[in-house]
Amino acid sequence: MYSDHFGFAELPFSVSPDARFWYTNSLYREAFASLCYGIETRKGFIVITGEAGTGKTTLLRKFMHSVEGRVHTAFIFNPHLSFTELLRLILNDLGVPNSSHDRLTLMAELNSYLFDQLKQGHIVSLLVDEAQNLSNAMLEELRLLSNLETDKAKLIQIVLIGQPELELKLEQPELRQLKQRVAIRCRLAPLKNNEVAPYIRCRLQTVGYDGKELFDPESVQNIALYSKGIPRLINVICDNALLIAYAASQPKVSANIIDEVARDLQLLGSSQDNLVEQHGGRLRRAKAQHSGERWQPNFAEFPAAVEQPPGKHHPGRTLAGIGIGALLAAVVLVGTILYTQQSGSLAAFGFNIEDLVGVRWRNPARVRPLAEPPEATAPYEGRVTDRELSNETPALKQPEFSPLEPNPLPTPEPRIDNTGKPPSPLTEATNRKSEDIGTRQMNTVTRTLSPAQPFMNSEKLEFEVYKAIHNRAIKGVEVSARDGTIHLGGRVATANQKLAAVQAASSVPGVKGIRDEIAVNN
């Protein structure tokens, strides 16, 4: 179809094993030499393996066309045969007429033919393709067939060609006798990246093309990537690429065309996907320009890491979609509240409750509480503990504040006693210490529930406190619960918000006590 467009005498990238398109590199020359040497010196068994599409059958065709008239070959391409059927096919390929279906008769005819060729100095070889599909019983029959020999030479040379599974099959203990008879082994490997361009050029020259380069350097790199160096895949990709270039009236194959072919043939793997994604919309842009349309990028097809241009909305994001999303968010929030009221657990849901209520939630099971019980650790310096409040004793330590933080306690005004005179310095110091203690007691509020108040687990109690604080539009408060005591931390904007947060926490049923350590921003 595209031969006239590019000036080809015939299609250069056919997948048939044509020996004229034999590409020679160091590995292929070694394999061909090993095959010729093993047959001409009557080594018996030869094994050639390689991945599918690496040119094993083409190697056999090349050998069959290059050997002299003294080498006679029988080529078996279908291994799913019985041994009797195999004998009939061998005799037919060797030109020996036979009409018998008896195994012994066929073996006698083959043996007679082999001795006649040996007297004439000729060699008989059996080439079995796709040998990895041979059963163990058939492989054993082939080993017995190789017993046709004289004191000096083997009468028939058997070549097994197959995929790497053949090597694994020969490692089986029951086939160890056959493995020992294998005299020559060689394996065909895929082409290297720097061999892809010479391979393409070799096939173009075989059909008589001597014009300009038909494949861009970048397109050749993509061919090597998608084909992984397998000649058959290279042929398929190049054939489809030339067809697309012909349909688009392009003089050569670009990297975009190779990407399109790889998508059509489903050759994209994990690494190839990344390469195609890097191209973005180049292929779609090229198609649109060829058809005369105006190309616009579709950001929905780019990777998630690529950011949208500022000021532009997602093309699929409409007002109706935004409304549906808001409705779903409301349903999820209501379902969460109802579920937690029944089960008391938030762990069954996968979303962040902090984002729902606007307050930071600290789970006491994961975060150390703000104040440990005095029995477990020593009392905190500068803090009023529950035990010290309950004892009603003035022997409380003066709170200490960091010089980096402002003193949250207001400075009291000088008092005047009943006599109308300012107090003495000793009296003033005593009053200030009492006020400090009283203020600290207000910051650390402790109240005891009556026995009638219900008890709830820590998670549910935390959530109820969250709701109570959130309902008063207070943000920035950290809440944790431990044994019914609520620990309040974090920062708020004003002192009124701090007081309102404490009051909101106190109003929740089930709260035994409140530890207030909320800081107020200046």
pLDDT of amino acid 79: 86
User: Phi and psi for 73 in degrees, rounded to 5?
Assistant: -120, 145
pLDDT band at 337 (very low <50, low <70, confident <90, very high): low
pLDDT of amino acid 463: 82
Q: Indicate the range of 198-202, 212-216, 224-228, 298-302 predicted with least confidence.
A: 298-302
Give 38-73 pLDDT, tens digit per residue.
999 999 899 999 999 999 999 999 998 888 778 999
| Residue 275 confidence (pLDDT) above 70 | no
pLDDT of amino acid 456: 61
| Residue 241 confidence (pLDDT) above 70 | yes
pLDDT of amino acid 306: 37
Share of the chain above pLDDT 70, in %: 66
Q: Indicate the range of 92-106, 289-303, 449-463 predicted with least confidence.
A: 289-303
The segment with the largest mean pLDDT, out of 138-152, 169-183, 278-292, 384-398, is: 169-183
pLDDT band at 339 (very low <50, low <70, confident <90, very high): low
In angstroms, the CA 87 to CA 89 distance is 5
Give 341-368 pLDDT, tens digit per residue.
554 444 444 444 445 444 444 444 444 4
More confident residue, 293 or 69: 69
pLDDT of amino acid 185: 93
Cβ atoms of 227 and 199 closer than 8 Å? no
Q: Which residues, other chains included, contact 41 with Cβ-Cβ below 8 Å and sequence gap of 6+?
A: none
Share of the chain above pLDDT 90, in %: 34
Torsion sign (Cα): 135, 136, 138, 139:
positive
pLDDT of amino acid 30: 92
Nearest to 14 by CA among 282, 234, 244, 284: 234
Q: Indicate the range of 106-110, 111-115, 442-446 predicted with least confidence.
A: 442-446
pLDDT of amino acid 469: 85
> What mean pLDDT value characterizes the chain?
74
Mean pLDDT of 19-29: 89
Torsion sign (Cα): 352, 356, 360, 362:
negative
Distances (CA, A) of 187 to 10, 20, 60, 163, 227: 31, 21, 13, 9, 19
pLDDT of amino acid 515: 86
pLDDT of amino acid 216: 92
Cβ atoms of 486 and 514 closer than 8 Å? yes
Mean pLDDT of 160-178: 93
Mean pLDDT of 133-154: 89
**How many CA atoms, within 13 angstroms, populate the side-chain half-sphere of residue 131?**
28
Nearest to 502 by CA among 463, 474, 482, 460: 474
| Residue 178 confidence (pLDDT) above 90 | yes
pLDDT band at 302 (very low <50, low <70, confident <90, very high): very low
pLDDT of amino acid 332: 72
pLDDT band at 138 (very low <50, low <70, confident <90, very high): very high
Cβ atoms of 441 and 384 closer than 8 Å? yes
**Which amino acid would we find at residue 491?**
R
The segment with the largest mean pLDDT, out of 31-35, 468-472, 493-497, is: 31-35
pTM beyond cutoff 0.85: no
Mean pLDDT of 434-444: 46
Q: Indicate the range of 119-133, 153-167, 238-252, 378-392 predicted with least confidence.
A: 378-392
Scanning the structure block, which residue is given the tokens 């909320």?
518
DSSP state of 20: G
Mean pLDDT of 162-173: 93
pLDDT of amino acid 217: 92
pLDDT of amino acid 327: 76
pLDDT of amino acid 481: 84
pLDDT of amino acid 153: 83
Give 65-83 pLDDT, tens digit per residue.
888 778 999 999 888 889 9
Cβ atoms of 280 and 264 closer than 8 Å? no
**Which amino acid would we find at residue 46?**
I
Which two three-digit tokens encode residue 266? Answer: 């489903």
pLDDT of amino acid 175: 94
Mean pLDDT of 235-241: 94
More confident residue, 453 or 157: 157
Q: Indicate the range of 117-121, 129-133, 150-154, 449-453 predicted with least confidence.
A: 449-453
